[in-house]
Amino acid sequence: MGEDADGVGVAMPVDGATRLYAIIGCPIAQARSPAVFNRLFGRLGVPAVLVPVEIAPADLAIGLAGLTAIANLDGIIVTVPHKPRMAALADAVAPMGQRVGAVNALRRRPQGGWLADMFDGRGFVAGLAGRGHAVAGRSALLVGAGGAGSAIAFALAEAGIARLHIRDIAPERAVALARRVADACPHLRPTAGPQAEPADIAINATPLGMAAEDPLPLDVQALAPGTLVVDVIMKPARTRLLAQAEARGLPTHAGRHMLDAQVDAIAGFFGLLPPRS
């Protein structure tokens, strides 16, 4: 069986019938998905295992080709920094992935090749809602316009954010994302640039914080009292950004909530649960 006496998923035996899933990134040590999905496989009684695979950016295309050659590998989860480029390498991309220009999950198509989609943004908003943080009618400062940041920007727009300012180490990337969101969601006119007005929610959607020596992605001291500080980084669970925000008395929201809120959706995409609309 796939559950222990408390109903918690336990590991399935690995044998010749085991189906494989992979999460790819660089680095990969911070990934929480193997623990989360392997518990899910155990709970569902699915003979499968998700393994972490580190692939350097320069090797992504050849790495995907190698994974494609593994006949019992059914799905791939994608993490930093591969989400934007993977959208171009997949054989087909679902509408959300097309809009965002990045993907974080791939499944094999019956006719061959990979279908890709993006779940980060809606998982992010659902994770906020699950912790009692409303988005509609509020304002947000989003730092990071890469794959995760793009997904979050579109999802915030869909959820009714009233004002969105985007900042990125590459200013032109922030400007481009603001324009794309405005084109897709005419009710919202995001702004971009180094300066921003006070916001209700401040979001780090960059990799800054994975390493102890990383600079902070935003200045906590410049945030207004009551600003909700959000970090999408999974490991460490309590980043320096969140620690400094807590020291200032600001509310915080950790990265694990974004993953936890999208697990069932990705499992549905993989065909392991009824798909969510």
| pLDDT given for residue 2 in this prediction | 41
Q: Quickly state the pLDDT bin for 212 (edges 50, 70, 90).
A: confident
- 272 has a pLDDT exceeding 90: yes
In the prediction, which pLDDT does 211 show?
Answer: 87
Residue 85 has pLDDT above 90, yes or no: yes
- Categorize the per-residue pLDDT at 230 as very low, low, confident or very high, splitting at 50, 70 and 90: very high
How far apart CA 108 and CA 30 sit, in angstroms, is 26
Task: Give CB contacts under 8 A, 24+ apart, made by 177-186.
Answer: 177/145, 177/149, 177/150, 177/153, 180/99, 180/101, 180/150, 181/153, 181/154, 181/157, 184/99, 184/154, 184/157, 185/154, 185/157, 185/158
pLDDT of residue 275: 63
In whole angstroms, give the CA distance from residue 133 to residue 212: 28
What is the structure's pLDDT at 277?
52
Angle between helices 256-269 and 120-130 in degrees, nearest 10: 130
Distances (CA, A) of 87 to 2, 73, 161, 209, 212: 34, 19, 26, 25, 30
Provide mean pLDDT across the span 204-222: 93
Are the beta carbons of 201 and 166 closer than 8 angstroms? no
Per-residue confidence (pLDDT) for residue 68, from 0 to 100? 98
The DSSP annotation for 16-34 comes to: TT-EEEEEEESS-TT--HH
Confidence of residue 209 (pLDDT cuts 50, 70, 90): very high
| Distance in angstroms (rounded) separating the CA atoms of residues 81 and 67 | 18
Strands lying side by side in the sheet with 114-117: 48-54, 19-25, 73-78, 105-108, 114-117, 92-93
- 257 residue type, one letter: H
What is the per-residue pLDDT across 103-149, written as a single tens digit (0 to 9) for each? 999 999 999 999 999 999 999 999 999 999 999 999 999 999 999 99
**pLDDT tier at 13 (50, 70, 90 boundaries)?**
confident
Which domains, from first to last, does the chain contain?
Answer: 19-118 (3.40.50.10860), 121-258 (3.40.50.720)
- Rounded to the nearest 10 degrees, the angle between the axes of helix 33-44 and helix 256-269 is 50
Active-site residue numbers? Answer: 83
pLDDT of residue 109: 96
pLDDT of 8 higher than 60: no
Residue-wise pLDDT for 66-78, tens only, equals 999 999 999 999 9
The DSSP 8-state label assigned to residue 275 in this structure reads P
Tell me if residue 165 falls in helix, strand or coil.
strand
Cβ atoms within 10 Å, residue 151: 30
Answer for the pair 190, 116: CB distance below 8 angstroms, yes or no. Answer: no
Which pLDDT belongs to residue 274? 78
Q: Can you read off the two tokens belonging to residue 2? A: 């796939």
Query: What is the predicted pLDDT for the residue at 243?
Result: 96
The average confidence (pLDDT) of the chain is: 93
User: For the segment 166-193, what is each residue's pLDDT rounded down to a tens digit?
Assistant: 999 999 999 999 999 999 999 999 999 9
Q: Which band of pLDDT confidence, cut at 50, 70 and 90, is reported for residue 5?
A: very low
Q: Tell me how far CA of residue 96 lies from CA of 47, 92, 116, 119, 121, in angstroms.
A: 30, 12, 10, 8, 9
